[in-house]
A and B are shown apart, each in its own frame.
Chain A
C-alpha cells in the first residue's frame, strides 16, 4: 500500500521534505518500516524520534494499517 510519511523538525533537514509517498506492504510492523526508511535515509539512525501511526504514538511491533505515518522528534511546544 502507499503510505504518506510526514517528517517534522530536524528530520526535514535530513529528508529535504515534509512528507512523501512511500510504498510499503500492509500488515508489516513499524520496526520493519523504520528499517526501510533507514535504508533510504541512513542519517535517521543518528536521530531521536517516535512514530505516530494513525496520529497516535506506536511501538515497534504495531502492524501498519494506517496510510499516514508521522516521524516525531522531541517536542518543543510552549
Chain B
C-alpha cells in the first residue's frame, strides 16, 4: 500500500453505514491485520436555550484541510505500528443521528490501533480547518466549536 499518497477525505453529505461496512469488507483480504479500530462521529441533537439541533452543515478550508489530513496520516504512520488508516469527513448537510466522521485504523495488534485512533481523532479536531453550522429545528443557526 502506498502510505504517502494523498487520499480523498471529504464526502458530500452523511457517511452511510453501507459505506462503513464496505470499507470493513475491503480489508478482509489483508491477512496481516489482526485488529481494527473505528471511530464514528455522529451529529448530536443538542438542546441550546430551548432549541434543538436538527442538522450540522459542514464547510472546510479544503486545500489546507487536505494538507493537514495528510500530515496527520504521515505522523500516525511514523508514531505507531499500523498497517493502514482511512479518514472520511462529511461536507454539507448532515442530520442528527447521521455519521459525519469515520476513522478506520488497522494494525497487526490491538494496542497500537487503540493509541493510533485516539491520536488521529484528537489531531483532526485540533488541527483541521472544518467548520460546523448547527441548524436548529426552527431554521435559525449557531456555529459549533469543538470542546
Tell me the A residues contacting B by CB distance below 8 Å.
6, 8-10, 52, 55-56, 70, 72-78
Contact = CB atoms under 8 A, between A and B. Distances in A.
Given A52-B129, A55-B64, A77 B89 contact: yes
A9 B61 CA distance: 10
B59 interface: yes
Contacts of B127: 75
Contact of A76 (B63, B121, B131): B131
Contacts of A6: 61
A11 to B, nearest CB: 9
Interface in B129-147: 129-133, 143-146
A10 B143 contact: yes
B101 interface: yes
Contacts, number: 62
A77 B61 contact: no
A72 B124 CA distance: 15
Given A8-B131, A9-B131, A72-B129, A78 B64 contact: no
A70 B63 CA distance: 11
Given A73-B131, A75-B128, A77-B130, A8 B67 contact: no
A70 B61 contact: yes
A73 B61 CA distance: 11
Interface residues of B, number: 26
B23 interface: no
Nearest to A71: B61
10 tightest Cβ-Cβ pairs between the two chains A and B: A77-B130, A76-B132, A9-B131, A76-B144, A55-B64, A74-B145, A10-B143, A78-B41, A78-B101, A78-B125
B100 interface: yes
Contacts of A74: 145-146
Contacts of A78: 41, 89, 100-101, 121, 124-125, 130, 146
Contact of A70 (B124, B126, B129): B129
A8 B129 contact: yes
Contacts of A77: 58, 60, 89, 101, 124-125, 128, 130, 132, 146
